[in-house]
Structure 1
């Protein structure tokens, strides 16, 4: 059976806050999703940003079949010790040749580790549903997006975004809010596939995160009041309980790509299927 490593970049207090809100840290959510997609797989969780985690070398990682990076509130453009530790971990992942996948901050960490740039989104957030994501010409032929329609919606909660992809990267999908919604990054010996949205999350987890961020959403003018945020949260929770409810889908303006768990997980499922062929697949610069 495959062996996976999940790397969570939340700080300890952020992990505990998420556990109180949603019952799991981001790494624990990933591990649960992987266990559902690959019953019997071995899944380890590490927290590379923690001071107690110690440095990771490529030799520590090669026993894994794939490495997955979670989302988190981390700002990878901050010059802070925890950020430096997380970036050093990602460089070790690239050096190991083990294929990797990341969502939200995971994409941002891989981008920065390979020499790209991440920024705070100018005067906006993407929260709840990332709308009308569309593949680029390269993305339409890429296995990460196999099975996606011409445009789709996905769970998303982020205030940072990739500003510039590193050399050796391919832009795979964009929307009107965030140019880099999906990308492949080839760096050192490694291949990384990533998305700015969250294929690993349940709709309930999205709803609870929005409720926890209600004040920020009002401040960003995405809602007129916290009551409006709660009404949106209530609809998301109703959709989580009843994914086929046509009235709730209509109120939220979503279809099965967002409402159905199997469809939400499309990119993660594709990565796991193709990961064996990606090991040590990146060309190494002379």
Structure 2
């Protein structure tokens, strides 16, 4: 269901550093923020979507805009390591604290969840269970998650696009754990801090399968070091299958080889969390009053 009562105003916060941004564009034709903007416009036709790059020096909102003037803020994935003190991580965390203080509801995927965690007083670390690559498997809602609107429509266990080496270590005080799996303890959470509310996932509902394939190719060396693949050729072969399924989602042979079902292959189901967040806004910020 699309929201149509008024024009929604979204701000996409892209925390990819410039080099990573250009690598991604060279790989799949768009930065993480550009992917998010395109996805949001498909879910909320007519929405006004601005983009900001909080990791960049001198980054600023569009002229005349304020965080409180948006209906929702969306935090993209990023290669930043939130446990490392750098100008980029400091700027990104400071931006997220400003989002919380503004009261504007926010959503984030992958590093977006990690940024919100650190901004609200939690911690992030390298995932002790290693690389979660291509797809997070058997994500399971907690008791709270099963009844939370973020995960409405998800089954008792599901897969999702995912590629990350870092993970939330401790959630901030008062946060609610919504989903986990064997590799990553915090797969989804709600965080309330300083008057704001954030819903986030460690996986990537915004990514189509061609972008999953691109991420695998960009991170091939890391996959080999993690012993998930023996060579770049093996990574390329797997990525080729993911790409092929993107082009032909009805191919049952590819779905079987990759171990995927409609929770990943069907775009309407893959986008569940983003759609639920937008629907929860309902033009009145009801999400804040839960």
Is this a same-fold pair by TM over 0.5?
yes
* Residue 185 of structure 2 corresponds to residue 179 of structure 1: yes
Aligned to 1:241: 247
Q: Does 1:140 align with 2:146?
A: yes
Residue equivalent to 2:23 = 17
Q: Aligned pair count?
A: 281
1:172-195: CA deviation from partner (whole Å, max 9, x where unpaired): 000000000000001111110000
TM-score, normalised relative to structure 2: 0.94
* Superposed CA RMSD: 1.6
Report the Cα distance in structure 1 between the residues aligned to 2:278 and 2:158, rounded to whole angstroms: 21
- Does the aligned pair in 1 maintain the 2:110–2:202 contact within 8 Å? yes
Q: State yes or no: 1:192 paired with 2:198.
A: yes
Contact 2:124–2:168 (8 Å) recurs in 1: yes
1:48-67 aligned at under 5 Å gives the runs 48-54=54-60, 60-67=66-73
1:6 aligns to what SS in structure 2? strand
Judge conservation of contact 2:129–2:184 (CA < 8 Å) in 1. Answer: no
Residue 26, structure 1, aligned to residue 32, structure 2: yes
SS of residue paired to 2:154: coil
Is the CA contact 1:97–1:279 (under 8 Å) kept in the aligned structure 2? no
Runs of 5+ consecutive residues of structure 2 not aligned to the other structure: 1-6
Say which is worse superposed, 171-180 or 223-232, in terms of deviation: 223-232
Per-residue displacement from partner, 1:72-100 (whole Å, max 9, x unpaired)?
10111111111111111000100011000
- For residue 35 of structure 1, the aligned residue among 33, 37, 41 is 41
Deviation at 1:158, TM superposition (A): 0.3
For residues 221 and 51 of structure 2, what CA distance do their matches in structure 1 show? 31
TM-score (norm 1): 0.95
How far 1:278 sits from its partner (Å)? 4.2
